[in-house]
Chain A
Amino acid sequence: MEERRVSQEELIEIYDLCKRKDIRYLELRLELVDHIASRVEELWQEEPRLSFKEAFHKVYKSFGIFGLSKVAEEHEKVVTRRFWFTVWKELKHWFKIPQVVLTLLVFATLYLLMLNWPVLSQVVYVINYVAIISLVIYIFWERRQMSKKLGGDQSMIMGSLYQSGWLFYLIYFTPFNNWILFNQDGFFNLLLTDRGILINTLLCFFSALTIVCSAKLLRMAKSETVSLLERQSHFQRAAQA
């Protein structure tokens, strides 16, 4: 006897349920659709008389009282960690031999240049600030474009790009930045002092790190969107048919 398989319409039913149950990352949703469908097919081997709805209900119940929400919740942690993992990997790369020589050379040169021409410190700060704000706007816009392509859905990398916002926050709103902003000597005058220049160099370092990591993730997100679009269209084509 031929093995009973989950039909396209039934697959779409599983796909829609996963979407309704907050499985918002497309990769995970596609994997869960296959997982649930495989379990339904296995159940049909034991109980061939079950309808799809009965089998699906049984499989869904086996996910426990929190159902797919628990899977979504656990998965969110992986997405959050991904950005920080990329930052950590990049940081390690910058401090590896021989790259560490270049890293130190670039930032030591910047520090010495600002020390010799303190007014440069103010210019660098403004450029840095504008660059970061532009990057935030660019990431936001790119994410919207990718999400539009995926019909409002998002990939895991797109989700982890949200985390870059936290890094910007840590860079620009940490106590040591507040110290610059609220110091009695005035923000711009403080940038001319030795300590201000050192802090400014550190800010440049973190900004460069954030920009490089975000750019890498953005590039990965773009290529992933193309691949996911193809997988997703599989379900959409079936739905239209």
Chain B
Amino acid sequence: MSKSYIKGFLKDILLHLIAEKGESYGYELTRMVEERTQGVIKLNEGALYPVLHKLEEQGLLVSVFKTDGSRPRKYYRLAATKESKELLSEMESQVQLYISALAAIFKNEEEWKSAE
């Protein structure tokens, strides 16, 4: 899938997955996306970490380093603020709206093609 599509939704994807999982780290997020989309969407590290750090800087995510066996691992979770919860629910309804709007456009396109 084109990187430009993914870039537009990366923030939404990450916030959704982190909120769902409770807390997660960079590599786990890439694996979750790949598994759920059966490899259609692949997150690259060059885009993933800047977005995670930007969300952290905006106060939407909070992070903590934990030691996993032999190495430190940075876990992210949704900030326990009213603002982050509101943003998440607003974002999820916007994404759903966008998906159904796109489906409506391309459904008509298919009908038009089959009629042709």
Complex CA gap A38/B65 in Å reads 16
User: Looking at chain A, what size class is its interface with the partner chain?
Assistant: 20 to 34
Closest B residue, CB atoms, query A157 = B57
The yes or no answer to A74 lying at the interface (CB within 8 A) is yes
Known: A75-B53, A78-B54, A78-B57. A37 touches B26 (CB 8 A): no
The yes or no answer to B50 lying at the interface (CB within 8 A) is yes
The yes or no answer to B85 lying at the interface (CB within 8 A) is no
Task: Report whether A77 and B57 are in contact in the complex, using a CB–CB cutoff of 8 Å.
Answer: no
The 8 Å CB contact of A77, one of B25, B44, B45, B50, is B50
The yes or no answer to A156 lying at the interface (CB within 8 A) is yes
Per-position 1/0 for A1-41, Cβ under 8 A of B: 00001111001000000000000000110111111011100
Task: Report whether B67 and A31 are in contact in the complex, using a CB–CB cutoff of 8 Å.
Answer: no
Known: A34-B74, A85-B57. A5 touches B69 (CB 8 A): yes
Task: Report whether A7 and B70 are in contact in the complex, using a CB–CB cutoff of 8 Å.
Answer: yes
Question: For A81, what are the chain B residues with a Cβ–Cβ distance below 8 Å?
Answer: 54, 57
Q: Nearest Cβ distance between residue B37 and chain A, in whole angstroms? A: 17
Task: Report whether B74 and A27 are in contact in the complex, using a CB–CB cutoff of 8 Å.
Answer: yes
Question: For A28, what are the chain B residues with a Cβ–Cβ distance below 8 Å?
Answer: 49, 53
Question: For A31, what are the chain B residues with a Cβ–Cβ distance below 8 Å?
Answer: 25-26, 49, 74
The yes or no answer to A231 lying at the interface (CB within 8 A) is yes
User: Which B residues form the contact surface with A (CB < 8 A)?
Assistant: 25-28, 30, 44-47, 49-50, 53-54, 57-58, 65, 67-74
User: Which A residues form the contact surface with B (CB < 8 A)?
Assistant: 5-8, 11, 27-28, 30-35, 37-39, 63-64, 70-71, 73-75, 77-78, 81-82, 85, 156, 227, 231, 234, 238
**Can you report 10 A-B residue pairs in the complex whose CB atoms are below 8 A from each other?**
A32-B45, A32-B49, A33-B71, A34-B26, A34-B71, A34-B72, A71-B45, A227-B65, A234-B71, A238-B70
